[in-house]
Structure 1
Amino acid sequence: MSLRPGGHVRWAFDLAGWRPTVADLLLATSCIQPEEKQRLAKFVFRDDFNASLIGRLMMRQFVHLATGLHYDRIEFGRDLKGKPFLKNDGIYAVDFNVSHQGRYAVLAGLVQGGDGPTVVDGKQPRIGVDVMKIEYGGGKPLGEFFRLMNRNFSDEEWRYIRSQQDENDQLEAFMRNWCLKESYVKNVGIGITVDLRKISFSIRSQRLDTKSVVCDSTLKLNDDPLRNWRFEESLIDKDHCVAVALENVPADNDLSSNCFQIIDFTTLVEGHKPLLAIDEIYCDGIIGKEYKNVK
């Protein structure tokens, strides 16, 4: 694994294709911080545990790759809004974000320093990411579902969604808009607790692809265009769209090749150094948790 031009990383992990062995669990749970280990144990289902565990491992591997910090010396904290950040002092400024939904966990990261992006208007680059499975299984007709979700999109966004030719295209447009909104609020750390109608996206590229990234969607906040924001959109596979929200990344940085790279567990723990002792009792408790039904 290596950094892409501009100091970027885009990783995706196939959760549905991963059923960790006991050895995998023993290794993985020794490579996270004690408070993370305690938090993960509270999940009821294995799916949620696995997704959060992989997210923590992706964060640690990214920082190790981006900064050269020793794997077991990396220390994460959470800000007042709950967003993880790197606590270690150093010459590199990194930002990263993780998300999981459907069959994938994803990480988007960037590092300033070396070949990484410079600051814009004296502000550090920041990043947010979201992934969505393009499906609807709510039981109600799609039109009724849209009616119930009316307050989450601006009039402009609804016009775009409803202008699509059929329900499949409308659903994809809905998920794209939702994914973009989530990437933005995850970047700024406010959560989906604000008036989402005030966060209004204009989507220009009609289709997304697995082999290229579109960066021409724009955002208005309270009807005012936002400066110094850029948005990447692509597909991980035909059923999962992903959006990355970038703030203060120079306009001349080419983001068009930032497709998500599928990584496996072996790659994810390459060069690891355990933080904690092997805990067989803890892993026995995790193995006893049930999986949800995953398609």
Structure 2
Amino acid sequence: MRHPKDKGLLKTNSRLEMELENGVQRWIVDISNWNPSPHCFSFAMSFLPNHEYSSITRFVELEDQKRALVSRLLQYALVHQVLGIPFDEIIIRRTPEGKPYLNETAYEFVQNFSSYFSSSEWNHIMHAGSSDEMLHIFYRYWCLKEAFVKAMGTGVGYKLDDVEFHHMNWNNIFVEVAGKELKDWKFWLLDLGRNHSVCIARGQPRAATTSYRTTLKQIKFDDEEYYHGLHLPNASFTFRTVEDLIQVIYGADQVPSDISTKFDVSEDEGCERARFVQQLG
């Protein structure tokens, strides 16, 4: 919850926040009273690509065909409305298990976020080389920006295209905001595995939002104290297992040595859900 003094922040709704909210859509289509004529059914199906037809007509019962048709119309309509992709350009593929996914290139994906990067950052992303390299650089810049705004407590409400990062081969990273370098910040960027980037941002407590500062015990430091804190060693990550966490919570002496954990995936009223099951002894 934000501090009452931050009334301006409560009223702020950045373009990114709005897009994130608009990107979360939950639609329900009631087909119980929809009884189309053969002509109307064919007309509705004509909006779909030809390769989708067999997944509808393979059913014998009309009710099953209706469900299959509406399921696919729903997917295409959502993609069209949320992402703005022309209906005839939408390509939805399916996994071997039948789960749908949007077949979008790396270039098409990053284009959705072009307005949140400076010209130099965007140029670096666009000239990265392969699709994998493009995504890798995109996520690195995004990781830096997200760490910076979260360290201040502003989240995605900050104007991200004003935040420009510079580096020497991803070392000696520094940030400029609206063209002004912030010298009292340090950033560390590292990769955890192939597809995960992690950024640590460290800055002056006074740069935090008013609501965030009220949660801190101390926000004023002299130059020597701040310099010491800013240049503390960058600690490495420690990998833990689920069993490790349970031992921390319950105490290592109280948890049986044969503790086991598993994920039990079941189906409940047609909806898949994951339930974490903990077995002790």
The TM-score, its normalising length taken from structure 2, stands at: 0.43
As a proportion of its length, which structure holds more strand?
A: 1
The TM-score, its normalising length taken from structure 1, stands at: 0.41
Q: Which has the higher contact order (CA 8 A, sep 6+)?
A: 1
As a proportion of its length, which structure holds more helix?
A: 2
